[in-house]
Structure 1
Amino acid sequence: MKFRALIAAASASVLVAALGAVPTQAASKNSPDSSEFTHVTTVAEGLATPLKVAFGADSSMLVAESFAGQLTKISASGERSSLYSAGGKEIGGVSYAGGTTYFFENSMGEEGQPDPNATAFLKSISPSGQVSTVADLAKYEAATNADGSTVYGVRDAADSCLAQAPYLQSHGEQFSHPYSSAPVGSSVYVGDAGANVILKVSANGKVSLVKALPAEPIKITASVQELAAQMGMVVPDCMLGLTYWAQPVPTDITVKGQWLYYTVLPGVPGESLSMGKVYRVNLESKKTQLVASHLSAPTGVAVDKNNQVYVTQLFGEGVAKLSHGKAVTVMPAVMAADIAIDGNRVAVTTKVLTESGELVTARLAR
Structure 2
Amino acid sequence: MAAGAAVLLAGSLLGAPTAGAAPAPEPTTVAKKLVSPLSMVVAGDGTAYVSQNFAGLLTAVPPGGKPKVVFAAPRKGTEVGALSESGGVVHFATTKGKKAVLWWMRPGGKPMMQADLGAYEARKNPDGKQAYGFSDLDATCLAQIPKEVPGAYTGIVESHPYGSAVHRGTTYVADAAGNSILGVDARGKVSTVAVLPPVAVVITAEAATANKLPACVVGHTYAFEPVPTDVEVGTGGWLYVSLLPGGPEDGSTGANGMVVKVKARTGKVRTVATGLAAATGVAVADNGDVYVAQLFGGMVSRIKAGSDRAVPYVMAKMPAAVEWSDGHLLVSANVLSEKPRGTVLQY
Indicate the residue corresponding to 1:16 in structure 2: 10
> Which of 68, 81, 88 is residue 68 of structure 2 equivalent to?
81
TM-score by length of 2: 0.91
Deviation of residue 23 (structure 1)?
Answer: 5.5
Indicate the residue corresponding to 1:114 in structure 2: none
8 A Cα contact 1:188 1:200, kept in partner? yes
> Which of 86, 103, 117 is residue 92 of structure 2 equivalent to?
103
CA offsets, 1:46-66, max 9 Å, x none?
110000111025322110000
Indicate the residue corresponding to 2:258 in structure 1: 277
Amino acid at match of 2:174: G
Indicate the residue corresponding to 1:219 in structure 2: 202
Contiguous gaps of at least 5 residues in structure 1:
109-117, 229-233
Q: Secondary structure at the match of 1:266?
A: coil
Amino acid at match of 1:283: A
Is 1:45 matched with 2:32? yes
8 A Cα contact 2:2 2:248, kept in partner? no
Deviation of residue 33 (structure 1)?
Answer: 4.5
8 A Cα contact 1:64 1:70, kept in partner? yes
Indicate the residue corresponding to 1:297 in structure 2: 278
Q: Which has the higher helix share?
A: 1
Give, in whole Å, the separation in 2 of the partners of 1:73 and 1:227.
43
Describe the shift of the 1:210–1:82 C-alpha distance in structure 2 as closer, same or farther (beyond 3 A).
same
Contiguous gaps of at least 5 residues in structure 2:
none
> Which of 120, 123, 128 is residue 140 of structure 1 equivalent to?
120
Give, in whole Å, the separation in 2 of the partners of 1:2 and 1:30.
32
Is 1:60 matched with 2:47? yes
8 A Cα contact 2:244 2:279, kept in partner? yes
Deviation of residue 317 (structure 1)?
Answer: 3.1
CA offsets, 1:90-131, max 9 Å, x none?
0022111101000001003xxxxxxxxx10000010245131
Describe the shift of the 1:119–1:285 C-alpha distance in structure 2 as closer, same or farther (beyond 3 A).
closer
Counterparts of 1:334-353 in structure 2, within 5 Å, are: 334-353=317-336
Deviation of residue 77 (structure 1)?
Answer: 2.5
Give, in whole Å, the separation in 1 of the partners of 2:141 and 2:206.
19
Q: How many residues align?
A: 335
Give, in whole Å, the separation in 2 of the partners of 1:206 and 1:293.
33
CA offsets, 1:261-310, max 9 Å, x none?
00111211278331101011222354322110000111010111100111
* CA RMSD after TM alignment: 1.8
Is 1:287 matched with 2:268? yes
Is 1:131 matched with 2:120? no
Report sequence identity in percent: 36
> Which of 154, 160, 172 is residue 189 of structure 1 equivalent to?
172
Q: Report runs of 4+ in structure 1 exceeding 3 Å deviation.
A: 284-287
Is 1:358 matched with 2:325? no
TM-score by length of 1: 0.87
